[in-house]
């Protein structure tokens, strides 16, 4: 007798909250359709996916918790000053060293990942990362690439270079950025191609670390911020999800001693929460504004004193539910945060640190869905003006509200789940496609 | 400047809550007579404060007054409605809440003085002192040299929350296993109703505050049932800290539902007097609930569990 088992979809997000929680949204939609989503993750994310009700398989973590704590102390000491630099000056200081670390993770994961995939025997693998893991290509099933960074991650002559924060029309800027980027990443790229060759994969063009999937590629990019590409993406293999927002518990707004005014949510992600100096400067400005502020400070709550009466600090917020109730979202330009703001029709004030945050900040300004503020160079007057300007921009608010409504009509999580399940052969009848 | 509105006296409110507790224990049904003298004896006070407390209950619709027969119970105490929290807060209790809220949000520093609090909350010295002393009684504040008080550690950071779960893992299963555990059947039934009602709601209407209230009540029920008074006291004191603002970590609906189902499973076994099974399930429940997210994550970096020292 043939067993009618639900298809197993193995989701493998990189060890960052953006990709992890984006995949949670897709997994929730897959589960709703009767599939069996499971997660492959770094040991440090233990329990994150289980809390949403998903089976986890862990890759072995290198080093002890104490090694990790020391790593982060060094990371912050070394890189916080780099986050004040322009995108082009981050190439050698932050971007190239990060690519070295990313390639290390791919090399270390190869053998255990291959063993895990052989055990799980998934029907489809979903990879949400910026680097290729050859074991996935060898898993013997279709694989999906989720492009959860900005659209710039997929190169095109009409799209600014990835991580550059440039405007599409800035040709001189493009040439200068690309030259430095390719030079700085040449060594790590050669190392990665050599590793690929050992596993039987073809080399990738200079500057690229992940190929498109031959089966399916999912981009978070909503239409409102999409670029006109010189060479359009193949519609058979590339799907735009219009954001990809997970479901969280309804958020109940806390009681503020000064309980009046619009609600502003501030989160720079777990990395940005470590920058106490920046957030403290911002709190001093918030104190004088006629609004209420929810501020994500991660585990750093004890670093703050005399917090203003219109500010509420917390270690973690159920972000989608908070953004839904907010009048403005101040964030670092992480693509998940940016897409959540668009999904709920909330304007963004983007203060980017690094990576594609620069690209999203530029794009928000170009497309009129928010503003950009240099995190290292602002005065209290600049920050006040940006916040009050966005809160008072009724035209932007109306446009974003209409766009959010359209995005919510067919959520990206549902589009992603349907597209992924279309790759499964012999889908059981009880699994809704 | 934050201020606290004029509210009923704390002793009358405490007594009103005590009357509800007595009525529950006596299994009183709606319409039951609330005899002043009997309540005064059971609560160990005179009839005058009992009369004032009954008036507070009548103002909240929990009791009704009949001119000749005195007061009657107006509600069904076996249902999950939270009549106790529906009572108004006393002035000093409301001030204590505001102090805790502002400490959790780091609007107040780790050390406070009465003068500072009088200025901040526009309150008189007597009210502030009462609020401070009640927080001291709850082991939240500690007297420091001079005219200042210091906040004791509360579970509001990843490390202190982990320590709190460690403590509860040691004591809560033990509380169930001490011979003589007694489950309060009336409260258990009310809790069961409440949890089942919560589970019946769709995700979009799932009340996280309602979950938190039921969660605290459930674990308090276990502490109260313990036959060893020292363990019961230690747990009750610690559980009080879980009610504080700043403690509640937001969790997704899936886990909150799962957690509620775990509560119901433990309750089933406590009611069936399967104490060893209940204690084992309680351990599993606490281990799952104590799970924490990494404090920092970034591409190419190992996710960080635990805290990082302040560098900037």
- CATH number of the domain at B18, please: 1.10.10.10
Q: Which of A53-67, A74-88, A346-360, B71-85 holds the top average pLDDT?
A: A346-360
CA distance A30 to chain B (A): 15
Domain that holds residue A333: 263-409
> Would the pLDDT of B84 be above 80?
no
Residue B67 has pLDDT above 80, yes or no: no
The total number of structural domains in chain A stands at 2
Residue A427's pLDDT is what? 59
Looking at the partner chain, which of A75, A100, A249 has a beta carbon nearest the beta carbon of B208?
A249
Answer yes or no: is pLDDT of A8 > 60: yes
Residue B311 — pLDDT band, cuts 50, 70, 90? very low
Residue B172, pLDDT > 90, answer yes
- SS3 of residue B33 by DSSP: strand
Q: Is residue B183 situated within a structural domain?
A: yes
A152 and A18 fall within a common domain: yes
Q: Does some domain include residue B304?
A: no
Residue with more model confidence, A432 or B142: B142
A317 to B307: CB separation less than 8 angstroms, yes or no: no
Same domain for A391 and A417? no
Interface test with A, best of B293, B306, B307, B309 (most A CBs within 10 A): B293
Contact by Cβ (8 Å): A275, A50: no
Select from B158, B291, B296 the Cβ nearest to the Cβ of A72: B296
CB contact under 8 A, B252 and A51: yes
Count other C-beta atoms under 10 Å from residue B83's C-beta: 20
- DSSP E strands in A298-426: the ranges are 311-314, 328-331, 348-350, 370-372
Q: Calculate how close chain A gets to B56, using CA atoms only, in Å.
A: 26
DSSP 8-state secondary structure symbol assigned to residue B145: S
Would you say residue B303 lies in a domain?
no
Domain assignment present for B305: no
* SS3 of residue B215 by DSSP: helix
* CA B312 – CA B299 distance, rounded (Å): 22
Pair (B203, B244) in one structural domain: yes
DSSP string of A256-304, one letter each residue: PSS--S-EEEEE-HHHHTT-HHHHHHHHHHHTTSSSEEEEE-TT-GGG-
Share of chain A above pLDDT 90, in %: 82
CATH of the domain at A304: 3.40.50.2000
pLDDT band at A1 (very low <50, low <70, confident <90, very high): very low
In a domain? residue B233:
yes
DSSP state of A408: H
Residues A387 and A415 in one domain: no
Q: What is the DSSP string of A70-125?
A: HHHHHHHHHHTGGGGS-TTTHIIIIIHHHHHHHHHHHHHHHHHHHHHHHHH--SEE
pLDDT-based confidence at B3, cuts 50/70/90?
very low
- What are the tens digits of pLDDT across the range B96-121? 889 988 998 899 999 999 999 999 99
Q: Tell me which residue of B295, B139, B147 sits closest to A302, measured CA to CA.
A: B295
If asked whether residues A380 and A274 sit together in one domain, one would say: yes
The reply to whether A227 and A308 lie within a common domain is: no
* End position of a domain, from candidates B43, B78, B113: B78
Residue B136 lies in a domain: yes
Same domain, A53 and A113: yes
| CA A105/CA A193 separation, integer angstroms | 14
Q: What is the pLDDT of residues A222-268, one digit of tens each?
A: 999 999 999 999 999 999 999 999 888 888 899 899 999 999 999 99
B136 & B191 share domain: no
What is the tens place of the pLDDT at every residue in A19-64? 999 999 999 999 999 999 999 998 888 889 999 999 999 998 777 7
Residues B168 and B276 in one domain: yes
Q: ipTM of the assembly?
A: 0.81
Instruction: Tell me, yes or no, whether B274 lies in a domain.
Output: yes
Q: Sorting pLDDT into bands at 50, 70 and 90, what band is B308? A: low
CB contact under 8 A, A102 and B299: yes
Q: Name chain A contacts of B5, Cβ cutoff 8 Å.
A: none
Helices B208-225 and B185-199: angle between axes, nearest 10 degrees: 160
Q: Is A239 helix (H, G, I), strand (E, B) or coil?
A: strand
pLDDT at B42: 77
CA distance B234 to chain A (A): 26
Q: pLDDT averaged over chain B?
A: 85
Tell me how many domains chain B contains: 3
Q: pLDDT digits over B202-258, tens only?
A: 988 888 888 988 999 999 999 999 999 999 999 988 888 877 765 555 678 899 999
């Amino acid at each position: 007798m043939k067993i009618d088992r639900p298809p197993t979809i193995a989701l493998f997000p990189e060890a960052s909250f953006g990709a992890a929680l984006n995949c949670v949204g897709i997994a929730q939609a897959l589960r709703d359709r009767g599939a069996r989503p499971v997660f492959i993750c770094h040991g440090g994310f233990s329990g994150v996916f289980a809390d949403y009700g998903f089976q986890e398989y862990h890759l072995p973590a290198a080093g002890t918790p104490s090694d990790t704590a020391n790593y982060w102390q060094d990371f912050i000491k070394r890189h916080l000053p780099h986050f004040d630099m322009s995108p082009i000056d981050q190439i050698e200081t932050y971007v190239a060293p990060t690519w070295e670390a990313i390639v290390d993770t791919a090399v270390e994961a190869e053998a255990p990942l291959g063993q895990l995939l052989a055990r799980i025997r998934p029907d489809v693998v979903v990879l949400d990362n910026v680097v290729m893991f050859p074991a996935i290509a060898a898993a013997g099933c279709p694989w999906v690439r989720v492009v959860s960074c900005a659209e710039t991650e997929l190169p095109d002559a009409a799209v600014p270079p990835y991580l550059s924060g440039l405007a599409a029309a800035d040709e001189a800027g493009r040439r200068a950025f690309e030259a430095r980027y390719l030079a700085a990443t040449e060594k790590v790229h050669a190392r990665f191609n050599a590793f690929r060759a050992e596993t039987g994969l073809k080399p990738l063009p200079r500057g690229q670390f992940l190929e498109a999937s031959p089966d399916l590629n999912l981009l978070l990019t909503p239409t409102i911020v999409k670029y006109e590409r010189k060479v359009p993406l193949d519609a058979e293999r590339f799907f735009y999800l219009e954001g990809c927002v997970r479901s969280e518990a309804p958020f109940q707004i806390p009681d503020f001693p000064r309980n009046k005014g619009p609600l502003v949510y501030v989160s720079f992600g777990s990395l940005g929460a470590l920058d106490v100096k920046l957030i403290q400067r911002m709190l001093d400005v918030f104190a004088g504004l006629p609004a209420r502020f929810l501020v994500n400070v991660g585990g750093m709550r004890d670093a703050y004193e005399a917090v203003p009466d219109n500010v509420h600090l917390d270690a973690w917020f159920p972000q989608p539910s908070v953004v839904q109730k907010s009048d403005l979202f101040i964030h670092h330009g992480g693509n998940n945060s940016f897409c959540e703001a668009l999904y709920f029709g909330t304007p963004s004030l983007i203060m980017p640190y690094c990576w594609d945050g620069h690209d999203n900040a530029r794009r928000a300004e170009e497309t009129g869905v928010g503003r950009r503020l240099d995190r290292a160079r602002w005065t209290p007057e600049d920050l006040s003006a940006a916040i009050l300007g966005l809160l008072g921009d009724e035209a932007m608010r109306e446009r974003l509200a209409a766009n959010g409504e359209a995005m919510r009509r067919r959520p990206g999580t549902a589009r992603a789940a349907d597209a992924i399940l279309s790759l499964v052969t012999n889908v059981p009848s009880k699994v809704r496609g | 400047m934050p201020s606290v509105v004029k509210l009923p006296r704390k002793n009358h409110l405490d007594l009103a809550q005590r009357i509800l507790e007595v009525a529950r224990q006596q299994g009183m049904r709606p319409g039951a007579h609330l005899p002043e003298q009997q309540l005064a004896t059971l609560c160990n006070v005179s009839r005058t404060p009992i009369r004032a407390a009954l008036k507070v209950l009548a103002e909240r619709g929990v009791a009704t007054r009949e001119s000749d027969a005195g007061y009657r119970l107006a509600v069904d105490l076996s249902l999950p409605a939270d009549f106790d929290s529906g009572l108004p807060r006393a002035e000093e209790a409301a001030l204590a809440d505001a102090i805790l809220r502002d400490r959790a949000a780091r609007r107040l520093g780790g050390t406070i003085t009465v003068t500072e609090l009088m200025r901040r909350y526009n309150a008189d010295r007597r009210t502030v002192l009462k609020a401070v002393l009640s927080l001291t009684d709850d082991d939240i504040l500690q007297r420091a040299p001079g005219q200042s008080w210091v906040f004791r550690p509360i579970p509001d950071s990843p490390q202190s929350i982990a320590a709190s779960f460690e403590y509860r893992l040691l004591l809560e299963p033990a509380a169930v296993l001490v011979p003589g555990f007694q489950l309060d059947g009336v409260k258990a039934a009310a809790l069961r109703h409440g949890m089942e009602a919560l589970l019946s709601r769709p995700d979009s209407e799932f009340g996280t505050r309602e979950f938190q209230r039921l969660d605290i009540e459930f674990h308090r029920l276990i502490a109260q049932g313990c036959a060893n008074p020292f363990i019961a006291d230690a747990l009750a004191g610690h559980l009080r800290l879980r009610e504080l603002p700043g403690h509640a970590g937001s969790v997704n609906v899936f886990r909150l539902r799962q957690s509620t189902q775990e509560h119901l499973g433990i309750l089933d076994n406590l009611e069936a007097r399967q104490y060893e099974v209940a204690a084992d399930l309680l351990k599993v429940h606490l281990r799952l609930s104590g799970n924490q997210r990494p404090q920092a994550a970034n591409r190419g970096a190992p996710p960080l569990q635990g805290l990082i020292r302040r560098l900037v």
